[in-house]
């Protein structure tokens, strides 16, 4: 990591952003600006040796303040959450387009050297994910477009905006399509949590209460792949610095599991067996989604490799400690 260049992390008070700031510091970055809309005491991780700013990045002036003097900018900021949140807050999710729009405008105005945008597997066409056993998603499976309504459309539009700012204004942009990132120091309750954290919390609640029951959204047969946060951060940095990473790139594990198998693993970690109730009308997303890592392996000679079991053990322990110390 080259020191003495200003690096801006937007969304730094969030799960991925907090881990990114921590990793940049560990690599020797010595001029970091961390930006989030939340008050500092609500950030998942906050490092006082960096320039921490509370700004609403939906506003143009705030984005210019964030980008001022920067060399590189990571845009991880968005109003989002797990499937329960994005299915019931489509307009709020789409308003995040203002963040990327104004940050790109600020990047152009300030002459930034490189810009990273965190996209999502929700950009992929839903008709490619509507049956069990569907093939893993490759980068060109986005079009003809039919992304997740609301959140997915915002991500896909913002990808295109990054592309055109590169074409028209020469700003080098990098885009990673994250596939279900999980790990410690993230949301595990309140409605914005994603499946791994939600399942860990539910199993811990069942274990601590002695009421050995769990509710699962859907029939449990829907499949996903889940990427541990360490792989996400390493891949993000590699993509950002690679001169040939000029198209949106999948960043996710290719270890596909059903939600039932996810629950099996967390139960085994916890040492309990739970009675399962299936909420068939609950938010559940597409039937099948997995990450094809052919391109990232060709580009970087690497792919996310942390096993689901290993990542869940660390995530479970962190959530357990948080819950018993509340």
Q: What is the pLDDT of residues 27-42, one digit of tens each?
A: 999 999 999 999 999 9
Which of 292 and 79 is assigned the larger pLDDT?
292
Contacts 24+ apart (CB under 8 A), 52-57: 52/12, 57/10, 57/98, 57/99, 57/102, 57/103
Q: Which residues contact 323 (CB under 8 A, 6 or more apart)?
A: 201, 204, 205, 208
Average pLDDT over residues 263-288: 92
167: buried, middle or exposed (CB in 10 Å: 19+, 13-18, 0-12)? exposed
pTM beyond 0.85, yes or no: yes
Q: Is residue 226 scored above 70 in pLDDT?
A: yes
Average pLDDT over residues 103-111: 97
In DSSP notation, 123-142 reads GS-GGGSSSTTPPPBPGGGG
Pairing relation of β-strands 72-75 and 114-120? parallel
Average pLDDT over residues 226-248: 98
pLDDT at 284: 75
Contact assessment for residue 304 and residue 261, using Cβ atoms and an 8 Å cutoff:
no
Pinpoint the alpha helices (H) of the chain: 15-26, 60-67, 83-88, 90-94, 97-110, 151-169, 195-209, 229-241, 259-270, 294-300, 308-324
Question: What dihedral angle (degrees, nearest 10) is formed by the CA atoms of 170, 174, 175, 179?
Answer: 180
pLDDT band at 46 (very low <50, low <70, confident <90, very high): very high
Cα atoms in the Cβ-side hemisphere of radius 13 Å centred on 55: 26
pLDDT at 3: 58
Catalytic residues: 151
pLDDT at 83: 76
pLDDT at 286: 87
pLDDT at 2: 53
Q: What distance in Å separates the CA atoms of residue 297 and residue 252, rounded to the nearest whole number?
A: 12
Which of 304 and 4 is assigned the larger pLDDT?
304
Given this chain, do its domains 7-181+227-251 and 184-224+256-289+306-324 carry the same CATH topology?
no
Q: What distance in Å separates the CA atoms of residue 212 and residue 187, rounded to the nearest whole number?
A: 23
Q: Which CATH superfamily is domain 7-181+227-251 in?
A: NAD(P)-binding Rossmann-like Domain (3.40.50.720)
pLDDT at 104: 98
Q: What distance in Å separates the CA atoms of residue 92 and residue 114, rounded to the nearest whole number?
A: 27
Q: What does the mean pLDDT of the chain come to? A: 95
Query: Hey, where are the domains in the chain?
Result: 7-181+227-251, 184-224+256-289+306-324
Contact assessment for residue 139 and residue 145, using Cβ atoms and an 8 Å cutoff:
no
pLDDT at 163: 98
Topology (CATH level 3) of domain 184-224+256-289+306-324: UDP-galactose 4-epimerase; domain 1 (3.90.25)
Average pLDDT over residues 232-238: 98
Q: What distance in Å separates the CA atoms of residue 277 and residue 220, rounded to the nearest whole number?
A: 10
């Amino acid at each position: 990591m080259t020191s003495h260049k200003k690096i801006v992390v937007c969304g730094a008070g969030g799960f991925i952003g907090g881990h990114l700031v921590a990793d940049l510091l560990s690599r020797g970055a010595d001029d970091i600006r961390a930006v989030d809309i939340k008050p500092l005491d609500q950030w998942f991780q906050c490092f006082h040796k960096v320039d921490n700013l509370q700004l609403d990045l939906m506003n143009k002036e705030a984005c210019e303040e964030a980008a001022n003097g920067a060399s590189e900018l990571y845009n991880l900021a968005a109003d989002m959450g797990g499937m329960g949140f994005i299915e019931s807050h489509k307009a709020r999710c789409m308003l995040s387009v203002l963040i990327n729009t104004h940050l790109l405008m600020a990047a152009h105005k300030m002459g930034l050297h490189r810009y990273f945008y965190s996209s999502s597997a929700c950009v992929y066409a839903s008709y490619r994910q509507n049956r069990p056993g569907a093939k893993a998603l490759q980068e060109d499976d986005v079009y003809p477009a039919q992304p997740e309504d609301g959140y997915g459309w915002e991500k896909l539009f913002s990808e295109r905006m990054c592309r055109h700012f590169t074409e028209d204004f020469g700003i080098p942009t990098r885009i990673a399509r994250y596939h279900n990132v999980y790990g410690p120091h993230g949301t595990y309750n309140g409605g914005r949590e994603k499946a791994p954290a939600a399942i860990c919390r539910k199993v811990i609640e069942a274990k601590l209460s002695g009421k050995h029951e769990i509710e699962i959204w859907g029939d449990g047969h829907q499949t996903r792949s889940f990427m541990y946060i360490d792989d996400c951060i390493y891949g993000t940095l590699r993509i950002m610095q690679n001169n040939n990473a000029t198209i949106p790139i999948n960043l996710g594990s290719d270890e596909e599991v059903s939600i039932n198998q996810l629950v099996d693993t967390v139960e085994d970690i916890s040492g309990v067996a739970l009675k399962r109730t299936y909420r068939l009308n609950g938010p559940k997303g597409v039937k099948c989604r997995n990450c094809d890592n052919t391109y990232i392996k060709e580009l970087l000679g690497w792919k996310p490799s942390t096993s689901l079991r290993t990542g869940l053990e660390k995530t479970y322990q962190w959530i357990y400690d948080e819950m018993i110390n509340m």
